[in-house]
Structure 1
Amino acid sequence: MKTMPLSFASEPHATTPLRRWALRAASALALATGLFAAGVQAASAAPLRIGYSDWPGWVAWQVAIDKGWFKEAGLDVKFDWFDYAASMDAFAANKLDAVLVTNGDALTMGANGAKNVMALITDYSNGNDMVIAKPPARKIQDLKGKKIGVEFGVVDHLLLLDALQRAGMKESDVTLVNAKTNETPQVLASSDVAAIAAWQPNAGEAQRAVPGARPVFTSADEPGLIYDVLAVNPVSLAAHKADYEKLAKVWYRVVKYIDDPATQPDAVKIMAARVGLTPAQYLPLLKGTKLLTLPEAQQAYVKADGFRSLYGSSRAADAFNVKYQVYKSAQDVSAYVDPSLTGALK
């Protein structure tokens, strides 16, 4: 892979957002180790605390919150809204029982001491993560020899590498330019890069910033490359298994409500309001997210290679994380996957 100066690959001690997060998390964890486990019995009457942030598969929980479905289920749970990295900080500091993250970031948290199990799959990205190219490029192969902006060590770096591989190209066929994801629209518009890799809404902003810019690869081209999960502290899961079973049942009620054409408009209205968009603005973001039904989630929990399985997808994420120094040692993916909640439902 060709890289620009101060790249993650050429500078082992350079700090990407995930590396910076890992350093913060390690410090927080040193202060918090043992406190969560010691306080489980004393806190048994307290609500489950779950961190969520701005991604359609996680904003979907707002439907259950607004509809009062947790109370109906006899479940005492509090959802705390965060910026994404801050939610991982809070989980690492044992301020949350569970947090909504990508499967790759669940591994990152665990590798840095914040042990967790992926107890529920909410969705996979189905088009919201994109490689956006300037004209005249119309396909990935047209980017050979060109510069591509992407934030090193995050999920759309993985997406880009997968796109190159599927196109029969090597990393060395392009030059990767390290660019913060939230700056990719400006990077595509103002620099000499031919393309960027980013997730929504940044991907859409980048496309609008350059006339004729178009997606040449999206996460819809590789279903299951990026799963989104509820990562749960194993101590909390063991202590409150019945509550998490209720939570899982509510989740599939949410999925059914969103998927039903009769109720989807109301669901989209709720979700859009949570993030300050109109329903018309939010609907395309929802369409780029594949919420898994119960049978689909149960299938994704079957051990297998490839991206149709959470195991196979997470092994690919683990290899990526080690290669690009997000963390040092390969993780035992099987230890992170707990299919019991989903497997128990019918």
Structure 2
Amino acid sequence: MSRNWHGGGQGMSGTRRYYIAFIGLLATFALAACSEAPSQPLRVGINPWPGYAPLFLAADQGFFSDEGVDVELVELSSLADVRRAFERGQTDGMASSLVEVLDADRNSHRAPMIALMADYSNGADVILAKRGITDIAELKGQRIGLEPSSLNRFILARALAQGGLSMDDVEIVSLPQVGLQEAVEMGTVDAVVTYPPISTGIEQTGLVAQVFSSADIPGEVSDVVSFNRETASRRSADIEAFVRAWGHAVDLIRTNRQESYALIGRHIGMSADELEDAYQGIEIISADRQDEFLRPGGPLASGILALGAILWPGEAGEDAKSVSRFFRGSARTSWVSVE
């Protein structure tokens, strides 16, 4: 008597039954391997700037790991490099100023969304001019070195406006931040727009004096960490953990400043004393203060509106409704709601 069933497609040979069981076993192993495979790290582009430095501290001290998120900080030399890496999909997020957020939104399909308010500059971003130039009005007709496609444009425009000048009244010399000190020493520029650690080295040459700083435009120069929309939607829990780790790092700086500065200095090339001075002009924003800045109609939203009007005058500007796209899914709301 045959053990095989026939007719109506209901029978199955022993060989076929074993084959299907074998395929099922392989599928089970494959699914198990996938579920156990670690997720890719969150890759965040960052350049040397004390305002972002708690991220280095969070990595060095294991705060990211403690919160259960794998983070790779991709160190780049300039904000322009950070933005380009983000636009090309080489990073998931970027630590940057609002200028890079707006530029990436205009120039790519990455749709940056702000997850974290890192800091605002209250004197650290500066315009340094050669000796003999004592105020902004005297910059008329002078050569100004700055990093193109960066916050430097905004700072210069705001400074010139206070001196009764416009961008048309000066000669812009586009240079990377790392090339500004050489330009000052060679005399190929008359002033530069810069920030620590580059500004520290330039001031130490004794060839320049400060004629403007972000303290003259309080609250207008903000730095953030943003992630592209797809990452924001898919990895909400990881980004929330990222913000918590940031908070631990900020707390450590406050409770153990000198040790924290020593660790940070190794990444951005500044001594503890230089960092102490730099942080006099930088307000680091802790995790428990994020709502204050990320709320609808808050300082960041207002900053984006003002920034767009200065960087792209004459164009149809942002409005409160359109600005909201940068904040949906922030770490202080629900990432799951991101479409």
**1:77 counterpart = 2:67:** no
Partner of 2:40: 46
Q: 1:79 to 1:329 in 2, by over 3 A?
A: farther
Partner of 1:342: 332
Note the C-alpha offset of 1:281.
3.5
Q: Deviations over 1:152-178 (max 9, x none)?
A: 5431221122122234x1217842332
Contact 2:50–2:268, Cα closer than 8 Å, also in 1: no
Partner of 1:162: 158
Partner of 1:257: 252
DSSP 3-state at the match of 1:269: helix
Note the C-alpha offset of 1:189.
4.1
Contact 1:130–1:156, Cα closer than 8 Å, also in 2: no
DSSP 3-state at the match of 2:267: helix
Range 270-279 or range 108-117, more displaced: 270-279
Partner of 1:275: 268
Partner of 2:308: 318
Partner of 1:30: none
Q: Deviations over 1:179-232 (max 9, x none)?
A: 414333344444475433222333333333344x32121112223322111111
Partner of 1:130: 126
**1:94 counterpart = 2:89:** yes
Range 94-103 or range 79-88, more displaced: 79-88
- Structure 1 segment 180-329 matched on structure 2, within 5 A: 180=175, 181-191=177-187, 194-211=190-207, 213-258=208-253, 260=254, 262-294=255-287, 296-304=289-297, 309-323=299-313
**1:119 counterpart = 2:109:** no
Note the C-alpha offset of 1:274.
1.9
Q: Distance in 1 between matches of 2:75 and 2:150?
A: 21
Contact 2:301–2:323, Cα closer than 8 Å, also in 1: yes
Contact 1:52–1:100, Cα closer than 8 Å, also in 2: yes
Q: Distance in 2 between matches of 1:48 and 1:246?
A: 11
**Cα RMSD, aligned residues only:** 3.0
Give the alignment's TM-score, normalised by structure 1.
0.73
Which stretches of structure 1, 4 residues or longer, exceed 6 Å deviation after superposition?
41-44
Note the C-alpha offset of 1:42.
12
Contact 1:186–1:209, Cα closer than 8 Å, also in 2: no
Note the C-alpha offset of 1:108.
0.8
Q: Distance in 1 between matches of 2:220 and 2:178?
A: 21
Note the C-alpha offset of 1:264.
1.0
Structure 2 gaps, min length 5:
1-34, 335-339
Note the C-alpha offset of 1:288.
3.3
Give the alignment's TM-score, normalised by structure 2.
0.75
Q: 1:255 to 1:95 in 2, by over 3 A?
A: same
Q: Distance in 2 between matches of 1:152 and 1:73?
A: 37
DSSP 3-state at the match of 1:342: coil
DSSP 3-state at the match of 2:312: helix
Q: 1:147 to 1:340 in 2, by over 3 A?
A: closer
Q: Distance in 1 between matches of 2:97 and 2:87?
A: 15
Q: 1:131 to 1:95 in 2, by over 3 A?
A: closer
**1:68 counterpart = 2:62:** yes
Structure 1 gaps, min length 5:
1-40
**Structure number, greater radius of gyration:** 2
Q: Deviations over 1:279-323 (max 9, x none)?
A: 23333334332211345432222444xxx7111211222233324
Contact 2:141–2:171, Cα closer than 8 Å, also in 1: no
Percent of pairs with identical residues: 23
Contact 2:43–2:93, Cα closer than 8 Å, also in 1: yes
Q: Distance in 1 between matches of 2:227 and 2:296?
A: 20
**Counterpart residue identity of residue 139, structure 1:** D
Range 227-236 or range 125-134, more displaced: 125-134
